[in-house]
Structure 1
Amino acid sequence: MACLVIAVELYEDLTEGKQHFRLPRWVKLTALCGFAFWAVLEAQKVRRRLDGLLRSPQPL
Structure 2
Amino acid sequence: MEKEIKAIFIDDSIKNCDGAKRLGIDTIVLNRSWSLYFHNKLTCRNHKVIRTFKGIKQLVV
Give the structure-1-normalised TM-score.
0.24
Bigger fraction of residues in strand:
2
Bigger fraction of residues in helix:
1
Name the larger-Rg structure. 1
Give the structure-2-normalised TM-score.
0.24
